[in-house]
Amino acid sequence: MKTELKVLFLGDMVGRIGRKTVEKFLNKNKTNYDFVIANVENASHGFGLTKKNHDELASYGINCMTSGNHIWDKKDIFEYIDSSEYLIRPLNYDKSVRGVGYRIFNDKFLVINLLGKTFMPHVECPFKALQALSEEISFEDKITIIDFHAEATAEKECMGYFAQSLGAKAVFGTHTHVQTADEKILNNSCAYITDAGYTGGTGGVIGMDYEISLKRILTSIPERFDVVDSKESVLCGVEVVFDNETNNPTSITRVFEKYKDEGNED
């Protein structure tokens, strides 16, 4: 039995350029990891995830796909979310919502998705939802990993310590698309970063076209965002090594790589 398990978590994947950047990275590095998780809520032209792109990402070797507030943007999600073996949506949506908020993989990894409250759609409290789940499933018995898709840094940090107190082994923030420099291990038992960053085109605004983003800010008039048209991209995430016996993390390291000659078409 391995003494250590290495997990890769990739931040919000944006459009085709993001998907192809992930493919390029995993083609070279997949064998270095025991488990790969990626946030995919922006993977299909910046909004949601189509069935076609879901299957494409699974073929790259991604073991678990997390999401967030944009998971419902592509309507065919309702046709396949219940049958997907990889995809999870935020746990704290109403219980009547399709899909699941957590999955257990290989009887070892428990992955949970949560949506924040600040500047987000109205959902149930993520803290109460996590507390309730911890009373059903022992977080200590697995390598319990949480993707907390949230806007406010204070809310994310609070979730880190709260989840650690319940036995979670990792909390990775997503949603802001800007990789933070605060990776750490909380109380020697929970790997944490406020935001893992994004994977997608550079030269725009968090992976989207600059001109459209600026126009929305100047006019306050809604206009559909578009993925930045770029030949350069970035891949952001974290690598975490876990002790296979105690399930505790022993290290967390930021991943940041640049690539060229991609495209943003779907």
E strands, the chain, where? 4-10, 12-13, 35-39, 64-66, 102-105, 109-115, 143-149, 170-174, 184-186, 190-193, 198-201, 232-243, 249-260
Phi, psi of 220 (to 5 degrees): 60, 20
Does residue 175 have an active-site annotation? no
Q: Are 94 and 74 in contact (CB under 8 A)?
A: no
In residues, how long is the chain?
Answer: 266
Q: Are 88 and 64 in contact (CB under 8 A)?
A: yes
Residue 35 to residues 9, 10, 105: CA-CA distances in angstroms? 9, 11, 9
Q: Looking at the DSSP assignment, which residues form a beta bridge with residue 103?
A: 111
Catalytic residue among 45, 70, 175, 177: 70
Instruction: Give the catalytic positions in this structure.
Output: 70
